[in-house]
Structure 1
Amino acid sequence: MIRLFHVPLSPFCRKVRLSLAEKKLEVELVEERYWERDPDFLRRNPAGKVPVLRIDDMILSESAAICEYIEEKHPTPSLMPNDPEGRFEVRRLVSWFDDKFHHDVTSNLLYERVNRKLTKSGYPDSKNVKAGSKAIKYHLDYMAWLLDRRRWLAGDSMTLADFAAAAHLSSLDYISDVDWNRSAVVKDWYAKIKSRPAFRSLLADHVSGFPPPEHYADLDF
Structure 2
Amino acid sequence: MAILHHYAFCPHSRFVRLTMGEMGLEPEISEERPWAREEGFLRMNPSGTTPVFLENDIAIPGAGVIAEYLDETRGLGMNGRRLLPGDPAGRVEVRRLLEWFNSKFYDEVTGYLVTEKIIKRFSGEAPDAGAIRAARSNMRYHLRYIGFLCADRNWLAGDHMTYADLAAAAHLSCADYLGDVPWDEDELAKEWYARVKSRPAFRSLLADRVPGMTPPSHYADLDF
| 2:88 pairs with 1:101 | no
**What pairs up with 1:47-62 in 2 under 5 angstroms?**
47-62=47-62
Alpha-carbon distance in 2 for matches of 1:42, 1:143: 35
Amino acid across the alignment from 2:100: W
Q: Distance in 2 between matches of 1:109 and 1:41?
A: 24
5+ long unaligned stretches in structure 2 = none
- Report matched runs for 1:66-81 at 5 Å: 66-75=66-75, 76=78, 77-81=81-85
CA–CA distance in structure 2, aligned partners of residues 133 and 161 of structure 1 = 22
Partner of 2:171: 168
Using the TM superposition, give the Cα deviation of residue 30 of structure 1 relative to its aligned residue in structure 2, in angstroms. 0.9
Q: Percent identity?
A: 48
Among 87, 94, 114, the alignment partner of 2:91 is: 87
For normalisation by structure 1, the TM-score amounts to 0.96
Residue-pair matches, total: 220
8 Å Cα contact 2:16-2:63 kept in structure 1: yes
- SS in structure 1 opposite 2:109? helix
Question: What is the CA–CA distance in structure 1 between the aligned matches of 2:208 and 2:194, rounded to whole Å?
Answer: 17
* Residue aligning to 2:219: 216
CA drift of 1:57 comes to 1.5
Code of the residue aligned with 2:181 in structure 1: it is V
* Greater share of helix: 2
Aligned partner of residue 80 in structure 1, secondary structure: coil
Structure 1 segments of 4 or more deviating over 4 A?
none
Query: Which residues in structure 2 correspond to 1:67-216 (within 5 Å)?
Result: 67-75=67-75, 76=78, 77-120=81-124, 122-216=125-219
* Aligned-CA RMSD value: 1.1
Q: Post-superposition shift, 1:78?
A: 0.3
Once residues 64 and 218 of structure 1 are traced to their aligned partners in structure 2, the CA distance between those partners, rounded to angstroms, is 29
Question: Which segment is superposed worse, 43-52 or 187-196?
Answer: 43-52
Structure 2: how far apart are the matches of 1:140 and 1:24?
Answer: 29
Letter in 1 for 2:213: F
SS in 2 for 1:216: coil
Task: Look up the SS of the partner of 2:185 in the other structure.
Answer: coil
SS in structure 1 of the partner of residue 82 of structure 2: coil
Which residue identity does 1:209 align to in structure 2?
Answer: G
Number of the residue aligned with 2:64: 64
1:9 corresponds in structure 2 to: 9
Report the 3-state secondary structure (helix = DSSP H, G, I; strand = E; otherwise coil) of the residue aligned with 1:5.
strand
SS at the partner of 1:181?
A: helix
Per-residue CA distance 1:172-219 (angstroms, 9 max, x = gap)? 111111111111111110010011111111111112122222211110
Cα distance in 2 between the residues matched to 1:86 and 1:99: 20
Q: Give the counterpart letter for 1:21 in structure 2.
A: G
TM-score normalised by the chain length of structure 2: 0.95
SS of the residue 1:141 aligns to? helix
